[in-house]
């Protein structure tokens, strides 16, 4: 009796851990399937291009993008290639000799939510999340930056989606020539196509409202993110300089009257 009680007591922590692991929500690993549909006479038609196709596939493996790939059998009417992400899959398809030379009549990329399997633990880690203006499927354990637009799965199991909002508010801290600073919120929405020139002119208008600065022209506004890269170009867009992610690094300074751009 005592021995049985001791065994139950020793086994209790393992049983509790097992129950928790069984009841815990599954970890979702997003992968991308590149699906090919072949021409009818693919076995003959692919021969002149098969070596180049396989070379491209092996190169994708070396880059860590392609996990598995091969043709469907009985009949051989398509192929399936498993990639770590949709961008890698699309990039591969666009230059694949099979696609370029008409062996593939149609292709599509489907996102695959892997939740279980003996190989799941051996999959490469999820690439670091990079905010984008396009919707991205993101695993639930990924830490997202503040301000993103997020959609959660209704079933609580699938992947959430996230993107930079089409319009968002930019808060700027402007320093005057003496080094003093004042903060203002942009009075118009910022979007992916907003240019640095637009922001520079908006900053100039706001700086002009400060009595000590007088009439401030856009030419007097310096805007930099990394001092080593120099002044931001007026033609650059908010998306091109990744301003949503790097807004905290943006430095806005009003130059003195005699300073050039």
pLDDT, greater one: 57 or 16: 57
- Please state the domain count of the chain: 3
Instruction: Report yes or no on 24 lying in a domain.
Output: no
Instruction: Report yes or no on 232 lying in a domain.
Output: yes
Q: What is the pLDDT of residues 29-80, one digit of tens each?
A: 789 999 999 999 999 999 999 999 999 999 999 999 999 999 999 999 999 9
Tell me the average pLDDT across 6-34. 61
Query: Do 238 and 159 have their domain in common?
Result: no
- Residue-wise over 19-29: b if at least 16 C-beta within 10 A, else e? eeeeeeeeebb
Q: Domain boundary residue among 165, 184, 213?
A: 165
Query: Do 198 and 157 have their domain in common?
Result: no
Determine the pLDDT at residue 19.
Answer: 52
Residue 158 sits in which domain range?
128-165
Instruction: Report yes or no on 1 lying in a domain.
Output: no
Asked if residue 166 lies in contact with residue 173, where contact means CB atoms within 8 angstroms, the answer is: no
Query: Do 95 and 117 have their domain in common?
Result: yes
Query: Do 83 and 112 have their domain in common?
Result: yes
Instruction: Report yes or no on 87 lying in a domain.
Output: yes
Whether the model clears a pTM of 0.75, i.e. scores above it, the answer is no
Query: Do 94 and 148 have their domain in common?
Result: no
User: 86 in helix, strand or coil?
Assistant: helix
Query: Do 122 and 135 have their domain in common?
Result: no
Query: Do 152 and 136 have their domain in common?
Result: yes
Q: Domain boundary residue among 95, 126, 157?
A: 126
pLDDT above 90 covers a percentage of the chain that reads 46
Query: Do 136 and 207 have their domain in common?
Result: no
Instruction: Report yes or no on 247 lying in a domain.
Output: yes
Tell me the average pLDDT across 193-212. 85
Q: How far apart are CA 41 and CA 122, in angstroms?
A: 37
Query: Do 34 and 98 have their domain in common?
Result: yes
Instruction: Report yes or no on 13 lying in a domain.
Output: no
Residue 110 has pLDDT above 90, yes or no: yes
| Residue 110's CATH number | 3.30.70.1060
Query: Do 201 and 150 have their domain in common?
Result: no
Range with the poorest average pLDDT among 32-46, 109-123, 234-248: 109-123
Query: Do 36 and 110 have their domain in common?
Result: yes
Query: Do 98 and 52 have their domain in common?
Result: yes
Instruction: Report yes or no on 21 lying in a domain.
Output: no
DSSP string, 199-243: HHHHHHHHHHTSTTT-S--GGGEEEESSGGG-SPPTT-BTTTTTH
């Amino acid at each position: 009796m005592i021995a049985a009680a001791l065994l139950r007591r020793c086994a209790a922590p393992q049983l509790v851990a097992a129950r928790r692991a069984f009841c815990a929500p599954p970890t979702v690993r997003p992968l991308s399937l590149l699906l090919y549909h072949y021409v009818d006479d693919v076995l003959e038609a692919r021969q002149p291009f098969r070596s180049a196709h396989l070379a491209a596939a092996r190169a994708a493996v070396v880059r860590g993008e392609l996990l598995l790939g091969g043709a469907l059998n009985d009949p051989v009417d398509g192929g399936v290639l498993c990639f770590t992400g949709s961008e890698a899959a699309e990039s591969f398809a666009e230059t694949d000799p099979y696609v370029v030379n008409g062996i593939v009549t149609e292709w599509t990329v489907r996102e695959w939510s892997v939740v279980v399997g003996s190989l799941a633990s051996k999959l490469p880690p999820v690439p670091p999340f990079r905010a984008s203006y396009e919707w991205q499927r993101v695993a639930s354990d990924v830490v997202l930056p503040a301000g993103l637009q997020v959609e959660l799965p209704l079933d609580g199991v699938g992947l959430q989606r996230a993107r930079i909002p089409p319009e968002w508010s930019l808060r700027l801290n402007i320093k005057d020539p003496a080094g003093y600073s004042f903060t203002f919120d942009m009075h118009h929405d910022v979007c992916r196509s907003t240019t640095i020139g637009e922001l520079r002119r908006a900053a100039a208008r706001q700086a002009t409202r400060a009595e000590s600065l007088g009439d401030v022209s856009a030419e007097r506004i310096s805007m930099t993110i990394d001092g080593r890269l120099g002044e931001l170009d007026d033609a650059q867009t908010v998306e091109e300089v990744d301003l949503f992610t790097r807004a905290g690094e943006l430095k806005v300074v009003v130059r003195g009257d005699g300073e050039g751009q």
